[in-house]
Amino acid sequence: MKEYVNVKSGNYIMILILKPLYELITGEFSLFNNIIFNYIAMFAILRLSYKIAFEFVGEFYVLGLISGSEAGSLLHWIIRFIFFIILFYIFTLLIWMVQFFMTISWWVWTIIGVTLLLVTIMIVIIVKITSCDD
């Protein structure tokens, strides 16, 4: 079934040019080697970028910074792409950090935890001693 588009509507630009271009560019990004995990992660990133762009453009309409559906559509896709890139790299950094921390042995984590606990106890004791002197 074909989708008919009114040439005078702002959706014309989105459906014929911006949406396929956005999907072409974002379709090449991958976070995981596992296809299922990748679809889930990419869905989350794409959904978040959509919501952020939708909110931004809505605020721009409310503030009167833009008018007309063409300007709103173009701005929406630009903002959506920018936030997709930002969120993609944030997710990539988080995945890298988790993978890095998982390579560290349990005994290193135990030493780090005990050291942090001792430092915290020492700071609390020092603060209590110095506040009692006042």
Q: What is the pLDDT of residue 12?
A: 63
Contact 23, 83 (CB under 8 A): no
Q: What is the pLDDT of residue 86?
A: 94
What are residue 67's phi and psi, to 5 degrees? -145, 150
pLDDT by residue for the chain (134 residues), tens only, comes to 444 444 455 556 566 777 777 777 777 778 888 889 888 988 899 899 999 999 999 898 888 888 777 778 888 888 988 999 999 999 999 989 988 888 988 888 899 999 999 999 999 999 988 887 65
List C-alpha distances in Å: 131 to 4, 29, 108, 126, 134. Answer: 74, 55, 34, 8, 5
Question: Distance from CA of residue 45 to its chain's centroid?
Answer: 6
Contact 91, 41 (CB under 8 A): yes
Specify the pTM. Answer: 0.66
Q: What is the pLDDT of residue 132?
A: 76
Q: What is the pLDDT of residue 21?
A: 77
Q: What is the pLDDT of residue 114?
A: 94
Question: Would you say how long the chain is, in residues?
Answer: 134
Q: What is the pLDDT of residue 9?
A: 53
CA distance 95 to 91: 6
The residue extents of the domains of the chain are 11-103, 105-134
Q: What is the pLDDT of residue 134?
A: 58
